[in-house]
Amino acid sequence: MARTPTALLSPADQERRRALRTMKTIALSALLVLAAVFVVSFALQGRYPWLAYVRAAAEGGMVGALADWFAVTALFRRPLGLPIPHTAIIPNRKDEIGRTLGEFVETNFLSGDVVRTKLESTEIASRLGAWLADPAHAERVTVEASAMASGVLRALSDDDVRSVLEDLAREHLIAPAWGPPLGGWLTRVVASGAHHHAVDLAADSIAAWLEGNRASFEGLVSRRLPSWVPRVAHRFVDDTVYKEAVTFVAAVRADPDHPARHAIDGYLARLAENLQHDPATIGRLEDAKVAVFDSPRVRELAGEAWNTVKTGLLAALGDPDSGLRRRASSALSEIGERLTTDAALQRRVDTWVSDAAVFLVDRYRHDIASIITDTVERWDPAETTEKIELMVGRDLQYIRLNGTIVGALAGLAIFSIATALLGT
């Protein structure tokens, strides 16, 4: 199996590779030492009978070292390159290991009960509140949120936004009929007398206009009189019309029961009725509505409004001293303070977070766990094997050392017991 060049490994992996090589050297050295001891003791045990015990220990140690070397090596590759069954387990069963790991995580970690138990034991709202209450943290959240919002605004196509706004306007403003709802609203207004304040305001406004625009009545009626009528009569007619208008408006203002007020009530009541039930009135209103919204000038104004809003938002989001940024930071700090002091709010937030997390886990836990499975399937077998070996291989070399020591002790014990029981 080809090794990844050292230059391509991370510093941490390079350190792991050095440690792995060191442990492999130590384990191999222990095996070679035992082999040398075995050869010497085997050759001299006839002259020195006690060396038989040393030989047995060395023999058992070699057996244990070789067995554990085979077991450790078989995890990552074929020992000596031989096609021995059930070896090179990790590269050959990488995908199955990924699926098993994904199922293990899904079953034991991505469980609604597990998530709820963990979240209920964690004071999420209180901790979040304490963190947000710090002005520096609130400012940090504001800065990050502003950067994200600015990025979204810049990424939006102005034409697409205008198209969406137009579609929304047609769906929610133009398509629904205005007549019946508007007529029902006007009926309630007339029945409650809420329009009387508007009539009073109109009368006051007309009276103020009449008082400041006396000259507007000059020639208003008199210009329609025959040319032979004297100029004095012209002035008299205009003055009379002006005074009558002032008198009429004053009477309407002074008398809540004035006939003109009743006439307005009757007109509004009839209009409300027609808006709800008269097809002709409803049709005229709909035609006027469509004409207004389809006007090129209205579309142009909508586009200008979006550009103005977008430019203003970008400027406010990009300025650390803008009112929007300052109010956002202040609001976040206030929310943090409330979360640290309001027990009822803490319970609501904790419950909401737990319910939301459990819902997401129950609904998408298989999709989340499949990330593990899909990721492992995309890994290269050789690279995956090397990564795993770098992570755990050093510890596995200790198994080889332990096998060497345990084998030596077992060989010595077996030989001693056999000698004691059966003799030489």
pLDDT at 223 over 70: no
Spatial separation of the C-alpha atoms in residues 277 and 288, rounded to whole Å: 18
pLDDT band at 222 (very low <50, low <70, confident <90, very high): low
Spatial separation of the C-alpha atoms in residues 108 and 5, rounded to whole Å: 37
Spatial separation of the C-alpha atoms in residues 139 and 117, rounded to whole Å: 32
User: pLDDT of 106-153, one tens digit each?
Assistant: 888 888 888 888 888 888 889 999 999 998 999 999 999 999 999 988
CB distance 182 to 275 below 8 Å: yes
Q: Which two tokens stand for residue 393?
A: 């291989």
Q: What mean pLDDT do residues 346-354 have?
A: 90
Decide: residue 168, CB within 10 A, 0-12 exposed, 13-18 middle, 19+ buried.
exposed
Closest CA to 350 of 114, 111, 128: 128
| For the chain, the helix, strand and coil percentages under 3-state DSSP, each to the nearest 5 | 85, 0, 15
What's the pLDDT score for residue 244? Answer: 87
Spatial separation of the C-alpha atoms in residues 241 and 247, rounded to whole Å: 10
What's the pLDDT score for residue 377? Answer: 82
CB distance 20 to 393 below 8 Å: yes
Q: Please provide residue 81's backbone torsions phi and psi, each rounded to the nearest 5 degrees.
A: 75, 10
Closest CA to 203 of 238, 262, 254: 254
pLDDT at 234 over 70: no
Q: What mean pLDDT do residues 206-229 have?
A: 74
CB distance 410 to 64 below 8 Å: yes
How many other C-beta atoms can be found within 10 angstroms of the C-beta atom of residue 329? 21
pLDDT at 210 over 90: no
Give the chain's length. Answer: 424
Output the average pLDDT for the chain.
85
Indicate yes or no: pTM above 0.85: no
pLDDT band at 227 (very low <50, low <70, confident <90, very high): low
User: pLDDT of 82-108, one tens digit each?
Assistant: 888 888 888 888 888 888 888 888 888
In angstroms, what CA-CA distances link 302 with 23, 294, 350?
73, 11, 42
Q: Determine the longest span between alpha carbons in the chain, in angstroms.
A: 164
User: pLDDT of 262-286, one tens digit each?
Assistant: 899 899 999 989 989 888 988 888 8
User: pLDDT of 42-86, one tens digit each?
Assistant: 999 888 889 999 999 999 999 999 998 998 888 888 887 788 888
Q: Which two tokens stand for residue 411?
A: 């060989």
Among all chains, which residue has been given the structure tokens 């609130």? Answer: 138
Spatial separation of the C-alpha atoms in residues 299 and 290, rounded to whole Å: 12
Closest CA to 105 of 376, 422, 333: 376
Direct distance between the N- and C-terminal alpha carbons of the chain, in angstroms, rounded to an integer: 48
Interaxial angle between packed helices 381-422 and 51-76, expressed in degrees from 0 to 180 and rounded to the nearest 10: 160
How many other C-beta atoms can be found within 10 angstroms of the C-beta atom of residue 299? 15
Q: What mean pLDDT do residues 303-311 have?
A: 82
DSSP string over 109-147 = TS-HHHHHHHHHTS-HHHHHHHHHHSHHHHHHHHHHHHH
The H-assigned helical ranges of 193-254 are 196-212, 231-254
User: pLDDT of 144-194, one tens digit each?
Assistant: 999 999 998 888 887 777 777 777 777 777 778 888 888 899 899 888 888
pLDDT band at 9 (very low <50, low <70, confident <90, very high): low
Q: What mean pLDDT do residues 17-34 have?
A: 90
